[in-house]
Amino acid sequence: MAQATIMIDGMSCMHCVGRVKQALDALEGVSEASVEIGSVAVTFDESKVSEADIEAAIEKSGYKIKK
Ligand SMILES: [Cu+2]
């Protein structure tokens, strides 16, 4: 299992938290996503999903990754 903390731009309320949480829970290989406004701490199985996949799923749900 790998862990990453990803910073996210554009989140402003619990609705945003719910959207990001839903997007990550739907990704195979993500075992835990702890979402806050502006960031997510995620635990994932590197053999199934990459950090880039996780970032892509967040962007697809409408938010920007802060590098
Ligand atoms: Cu919101």
Helix (H, G, I), strand (E, B) or coil at 47: coil
Provide the pLDDT for residue 40.
98
pLDDT of 8-67, one tens digit each? 999 999 999 999 999 999 999 999 999 999 999 999 999 999 999 999 999 999 999 998
User: How many Å lie between the centroid of ligand 1 and the Cα of residue 42?
Assistant: 20
Residue 16 Cα to ligand 1 middle (Å): 4
- Give the pLDDT score at 67: 83
| pTM of the predicted model as reported, rounded to 2 decimal places | 0.94
Q: Which two tokens stand for residue 11?
A: 């989140």
What gap in Å lies between CA 10 and CA 49, rounded to an integer?
A: 24
CA of 17 to the centre of ligand 1 (A): 7
